Structure 1
Amino acid sequence: MSAALQTRQLCAELGGRPVLQNIDLQIAAGRWTCVVGPNGAGKSSLLKALAGLLPHSGQVLWQGQPLASLSRQQRALQLSWLGQGEASTLDLRVWDVAMLGRLPHQSWLGAPSAQDAQMVEAALRATQAWDWRERMLGELSGGERQRVLLARAMAGNAPTMLMDEPLANLDPPHQVDWLEQVHCLLAQGTTVLSVLHEIGMALHADDIVVMHEGRVVHHGAGRDADTHAAIEAVFEQRIRIHALDGQWVVLPRLGGASCRID
């Protein structure tokens, strides 16, 4: 199985504090890999390093080629990015925000092509944001904006998509819609790498990377018992993973907190 992204001895710091420590990792091409772990585990830092957005030591390779050797445009053509809590200009039309995803495909100061318009329309329809295309981004709710930003990432049609907390502000039905969109991307051969706090959704992934204190402590199939055990361990056994009606569900393990106030 070929690797879309690979790291070798990847290390990074923020404010002088190590956030990634000697990470060797291979992200399989054409599969959905999800990164999970407790707050502060380094999940977002890992995604930013893979996208070339966080200074680091060690190597990041895209299809065997050093990511640092690619130009900004080449990188944007190969890697699509959706960041956590990402800011965007609120006085832009939804259509124009989604069209930003097509910039790597356009010449300098060139007008959008008919293909650009087709890709943007398809992405807005896929995220159920088409009816808002003439509205300003600032007029939308947080969940609606997130769907527009997802459409922008999808419009780029990059072979690898990196998404940090893509379910933020999405209600459960639209989380399910996102899951269906991921499956559509996989059917087209896209590699998807996401960070999720929603462990129940993450368990649908082909592969799961479990992180703790800046390190990868486990990397395995989403359905494997060893993967489930690793997830439960980094969350200090406060959750348990069970099979229910053919799906994996996450349940709280009660009894760990004290109600006593002295």
Structure 2
Amino acid sequence: MKLRDRFGRDGAFLFRWRSYLPLLLLGFAIPALFQTVQVEQYMGAALTHVWVYFCIAVSYLGLLVRCLSIGFIPAGTSGRGTKRLRADVLNTTGIYSIVRNPLYLGNFLAMLGIAMSLMVWWLVAVFLLAYWLYIERIIWTEEEFLSAKFGQSYDEWSARTPAFIPNVSLWKSADLSFSLRTVLRREYHGALAIAAAYFCLEAILDLGIERQGWSEWVVEDHVWIYLFLTGIMVYAMLMILKKRTNLLSVPGRE
């Protein structure tokens, strides 16, 4: 099989399962937690908390990047579909004027923050390598599709716009106004996913590995419970609004 064909086949597979494949990294995160205990003892509680809060900020920065992408785009682009590629129009303004793949950049930052929070260098290295191999093939497949559909328009945009590292000097205002309702309609999954990831890893670390008592953990690390419960409540509220009402629907948006 030609390398080009292999990239296309792998990219199509990864595109279809892109929402679930990152979960495979949990297989590396669990053993890393045993080393996290040792690192926490070396760093001390105060410095550990500062580092973890920084990592949370990195993760939610990734969510913010996704929100800035979703909030300005028209319907028929950047969808959550997994069975086929779709692009009715080519996004080249707003955040898409400074980076070609802002949604994948947002995903990267969200997961990078989670990986860094465990303070184990090899886990971050595994994540960086895995994400690069994973996203490279997805982006290649999408770019082949977009180039075939939009031709010269896509080729000119891709030639001047970086694939993954933003170049803010290229900024061009978005054609549409920002739609908060569109963001709330499409991105409530991400907020809960980030909160759940931090909550679960912290619970496994403290309750499972360090054998901390439940009542003690609730008192000392209540911030994780608040973060997780807030995520669940926001998720439930927005899901009900999306499924049962039209309050989050915006004409001309996804």
TM-score by length of 2: 0.28
Identify the structure with the greater strand proportion: 1
Greater length-normalized contact order (CA 8 Å, ≥ 6 residues apart):
2
Higher helix share: 2
Q: Which has the larger radius of gyration?
A: 2
